Chains A and B, each alone.
Chain A
Amino acid sequence: MTISIKNNQTIPIQSIPVLKYEDFLSVNLSLLQDASSHCVNYYGLFEAGIIKLICCIANDSDHTVLISSSEIIGGENIYPSFTAQHFSFHIFERELHENFGIRYNDHPWLKPVRYPYDHANQESLISNYPFYQIHSEELHEVGVGPIHAGIIEPGHFRFICSGEQIIHLEIQLGYQHRGIEQLFIHKKKLLQRISLAESIAGDSVAGHTTAFINLWESLCNYHPSEELQFSRTLAMELERIAIHTGDLSGICTDIAYQLGSAVFGRLRTPIINFFQSWCGNRLAKGLLRVVKNNYYFNEKLGLELENILDSFESDYIEMWNKFHELPSILARLEKTGVLTTEAAASIGVVGMIAKASGIKRDIRNSHPHDYYTQLKHEPVIKHHGDVYSRTQIRNEEIRQSISYIRNMIQTIPIRNNAEESIGPLQKNSFTLSLAEGWRGEICHCAVTDDNGELIHYKIKDPSMHNWLGLALAVRNNEISDFPICNKSFNLSYCGHDL
């Protein structure tokens, strides 16, 4: 009923079983009965009046992804929803409803996702969106955004509060929709496409680019050399250290702990500056390329990185020891913004947020790619799901990444000087690529036509699922604790809006 593939495996599109919608629904939902399975992507392709739905369920224990599909005609037909039975599908079905006008009879809330220019119901606009309301004398509404007071991106947060307590939070995104998935089709040059992948989310350059490169190389039936795999994995781990350290600084700023904010902020700099000396860009843009490696990681860079990590680690550990012993900090972080394991599992959160709520979900472990196959990664798991758990995850992942990098740079792969070329894309194929960015699971899917041209590209950023996690975590918390909860999730607006 489904076809089982590995991460980064290309299969002919015809080999994906096409099921009747009812079977499609029951097969996929039954797969999710297994707790180690979750949906990594579910989306639709519109072709000649038919909507082809593709559902990808990853099984973490046997390292496979199970793909199935169904063809439906939208229009006036009404379908039963996946969401009614498994809540993690809510965002996918909202997107399907928005893009193709598919009607569901039992979806709880078909809230618009990102208002693309060609969405089915042109009357629904971001400017006239009816926010969820509760009518009561005791409650009041607080609206934040869509222009954020800080430096981050646009999103509207509508709180319904009883005094200081948050009863409900609605998060409205889509202000930053750029049509990235369409641009992947329209831009024909590989360099243009890879630049697009680098701009999906500015803080996950290495993560998204690695996912794109792996997907592309798989579509071209090319197996990267050890050197290429090495630099990709190294970039992803460095990015993780840099962003996690920056997040710790942000968390300190939000609770007005000045020392931590200053020290963690300073510690992030040498890491991103290392990217600068490696590839000339502090955000690692331009570093990773398909087939080739413009910036070979040589012994000299290895030595430089080792020195940076030595001085980073001693300062970092000293600061962390101060940080986690200070009662005023623990009082702010513990039991704040709790996302319970049950809630986290039901909405299908991924990455750091899932790990902080006791769910073992890490692509580096379950669907390893590149160098991760050698690293034998064991994810850090915390069980309380509060802000402090998410802070601890960051701390332990930073240390884990440092030790991985130290191991990796002991044996730097030899430069491959042979000029390699890449063949054309395989025709009529489907590929799925998973990568664990610092924020969590990144999923890219592509489909080619019978000329070997890309006809569909689908991106799923970890933020897609996790935004709802934030909305649930802040319930019954004080509204003044919202910023610290938000920081501890640190989700991407542009990654969601695409």
Chain B
Amino acid sequence: MNLLSLIFIVSASLIFTGIVIRTKSIFSGRKGPGIFQPLKDIFRLLKKGSVYSKTSSYIFQIAPTIYFVSILIGIFFIPFGNQQGIISFKGDFVFFAYVLALGKFFMIISALDTGSSFSGMGASREALFSLLVEPAFFMLMASFALLTGHTSFHEIFSSLHFGSYISYAVGILAAIVLVIIALIENSRMPVDDPKTHLELTMVHEVMVLDNSGFDLGIIQYASSLKFAMYGAIIANFFLTPGYEWYFSCAIFAGSQVIFAIIVGIVESFMARFRMNHNPQYIFTLTSVTLLIFLGVLLILGKIG
């Protein structure tokens, strides 16, 4: 049964990007590609071989795989309601964060490895933004650890229940923060524009500009997985223990779809931020998590 969350996340990842693209198409007045088109593109890439530049080293060749595996391992920690994930131990959310960071670190050094001036700029931006997101994620998780008295994903989510008005506010804030973290970590709008063809403005896209074929395929699939993984964390807020399993499945699927549609709407109706406004924006996130922390203290009666 521990495999449950892995299975659900993988199946959500298959359609997630498709839903985002479809939403954007509909809002711009187009029919848009089918839901499975991104997946078909990934399959097409996986069947191809990769091309490596003579100037790049083995780092460039192993980085995509490490990145993919890091996200897969991250998914192992995500519980499904009160079903725990494949791996679970005390303090696993710290491990989770740094496994993802490890994958990202390899992508950054592989971008530097290409020697392209574009990739270097992209890598530096990605490193900066990830660095700024980190406090927000830890503040958030630490607040819930404090609230529930547990330190693993599974225990936090299975003992989390909303009772007072403040706890609802905390829950909503946490969901918002997680959506924004997911958008930043996945290099989506408004921080990064996955559709742009302008190297000078890219963040994540420019780092993988030199990757091709199989490598590019797994990088793209890893992005879908990462989205579905964050979707699953958000869904876990609403998966209250005690419901029937089919009810939980519906909530899970519903929150993934809503999450994807929100991403699509954000990308349709606003312009991207100027690059030097991004750090401010990400810092704002940290201050929102401070509010959550305050809310938790209120619930616990430590202040007020």
Contact = CB atoms under 8 A, between A and B. Distances in A.
Contacts of A143: 117
Nearest to B29: A262
B274 A259 contact: no
A142 B276 CA distance: 19
Interface in B250-304: 267-277
28 contacts: A140-B120, A142-B117, A142-B200, A144-B199, A149-B197, A150-B197, A164-B121, A164-B276, A256-B193, A256-B195, A256-B196, A258-B24, A258-B27, A258-B268, A258-B269, A259-B268, A261-B28, A266-B29, A326-B271, A328-B190, A328-B271, A328-B272, A329-B271, A331-B273, A332-B271, A478-B274, A481-B274, A482-B200
B201 interface: yes
Contacts of B24: 258
A151 to B, nearest CB: 9
Contacts of A478: 274-276
B29 A332 contact: no
Contacts of B120: 140
Given A142-B121, A262-B29, A256 B272 contact: yes
Per DSSP, are chain A's interface residues mostly helix, strand or loop, or mixed? helix
Contacts of A483: 198, 200-201
Interface of A: 140-144, 149-150, 164, 252, 254-259, 261-263, 266, 326, 328-329, 331-332, 336, 478-483
A233 to B, nearest CB: 33
Given A256-B196, A263-B29, 6 more contacts: A256-B189, A258-B24, A263-B28, A480-B201, A481-B274, A483-B201
A141 B120 CA distance: 11
B30 interface: yes
Nearest to A330: B271
Contacts of A329: 271
Contacts of B195: 256
Contact of B28 (A255, A262, A479, A482): A262
B151 to A, nearest CB: 38
Contacts of A262: 28-30
Nearest to B274: A332
A328 B270 CA distance: 6
Q: Report the interface size class on chain B.
A: 20 to 34
A143 B116 CA distance: 10
B272 A332 contact: yes
B271 A149 contact: no
B95 interface: no
A331 B190 CA distance: 12
Contacts of B200: 142, 144, 479-480, 482-483
A61 to B, nearest CB: 40
A336 B273 CA distance: 13
Contacts of B193: 256
B238 interface: no
B157 to A, nearest CB: 34
B121 A257 contact: no
Contacts of B106: none
A326 B267 CA distance: 14
Interface in B94-129: 117-118, 120-121
A258 B267 contact: yes
Contacts of A144: 199-200
Contacts of B269: 258-259
B27 A479 contact: no
A99 B201 CA distance: 38
Nearest to A161: B121
Contacts, number: 84
Contacts of A263: 28-29
Interface in B51-108: none
Contacts of B201: 254, 480, 483
A336 B277 CA distance: 13
A141 B275 contact: no
A142 B29 contact: no
Contacts of A140: 117, 120
Interface of B: 24, 27-30, 117-118, 120-121, 189-190, 193, 195-201, 267-277
Contacts of B117: 140-143
Nearest to B117: A142
Contact of B277 (A149, A254, A331, A482): A331
A256 B273 CA distance: 9
Contacts of B273: 328, 331-332
A256 to B, nearest CB: 4
A142 B118 contact: yes
A256 B276 contact: no
Contacts of B277: 331
A483 B198 CA distance: 7
B181 to A, nearest CB: 20
A479 B121 contact: yes
A278 B199 CA distance: 39
Contacts of B29: 262-263, 266
Most buried by A among B267, B272, B275, B276: B272
A478 B190 CA distance: 17
Contacts of A479: 121, 200
Contacts of A255: 271-272
Contacts of B196: 254, 256
Nearest to A151: B197
Contacts of B197: 149-150
A143 B24 CA distance: 33
A258, A261, A262, A329 — most chain B CB neighbours (10 Å) = A258
Contacts of A258: 24, 27-28, 267-269
Nearest to A254: B198
A256 B205 CA distance: 14
A53 to B, nearest CB: 40
Nearest to A251: B271
A255 B271 CA distance: 6
A259 B30 CA distance: 11
Contacts of A256: 189-190, 193, 195-196, 267, 271-272
A144 B189 CA distance: 24
A233 B274 CA distance: 39
A479 B189 CA distance: 19
Nearest to A260: B271
A16 B167 CA distance: 87
A480 B28 contact: no
B196 to A, nearest CB: 6
B201 to A, nearest CB: 4
A391 to B, nearest CB: 12
Given A258-B24, A482-B200, A326 B275 contact: no
Contacts of A266: 29
A136 to B, nearest CB: 15
A331 B121 contact: no
A479 B206 CA distance: 14
A266 B267 CA distance: 19
A331 B274 contact: yes
Contacts of A141: 117
